[in-house]
Amino acid sequence: METKDDLILDVVRQFQRVAARYARIEELPIAVGDGVEVTTREAHTIEAVGLRGQMSVTDVANAFGITKSAASQMVSKLCAKGFLRKRQAPHSNKEYQLTLTPLGRKAFDAHARVHGEDRDALVERLRGFSLAQVATIAVLFEAIGEVLDRRLDP
């Protein structure tokens, strides 16, 4: 018979496997159209800008819990690929406002389709769980989030 600690360690291992697969998915391309692709990681930045209408590089960094330098690199890449437009912010000479280009809007829509299909499949699966099971999952992810935050913000 498994002990509670054995079961906990098994859950942690399962989470690590899921996290590794999720990291791989983040690098998979999403077809935008006409031979144009975007990685899931890039699509998340495009999604953030698209949902807000406009953002600054600092907003991107804060939204994803990454450094301003990392956000700037992602933004530069997405501008060079034609997904984002960067304009001088009216209130600051040091800040830029980011908006989606028409190609960025296509990437936003393509990501929403892919993400929506995955989310819908997961929601449907979770509907088969009891309320207590869903509440337990919520508490589990809160605990995982706290551990990850401690690791990221020492």
- Per the prediction, the chain carries an average pLDDT of 91
The band of 88, judged by pLDDT with boundaries at 50, 70 and 90, is: confident
* Statement: residue 126 has pLDDT above 90: yes
CA distance 154 to 152: 6
CA distance 62 to 70: 11
pLDDT mean over 61-80: 91
- Cβ-defined contacts of 51-58 (< 8 Å, 24+): 53/99, 54/97, 54/98, 54/99, 55/97, 55/98, 56/89, 56/95, 56/96, 56/97, 56/98, 57/95, 57/96, 57/98, 58/95
Question: At 11, which helix (H) or strand (E)?
Answer: helix 4-26
pLDDT reported for residue 153:
80
Which tens digits make up the pLDDT trace of 15-39?
999 999 988 988 889 999 889 999 8
Pairwise pLDDT comparison (75 vs 95), residue with the higher score: 75
pLDDT reported for residue 133:
97
Class of domain 4-152: mainly alpha
Look at the pTM and tell me if it is higher than 0.85.
Answer: no
Strands 36-39 and 84-88: unpaired
pLDDT reported for residue 143:
95
In total, the chain counts a number of residues equal to 154
CA distance 124 to 25: 20
Q: Among residues of the chain, what percentage have pLDDT more than 90?
A: 69
Pairwise pLDDT comparison (152 vs 117), residue with the higher score: 117
pLDDT reported for residue 16:
95
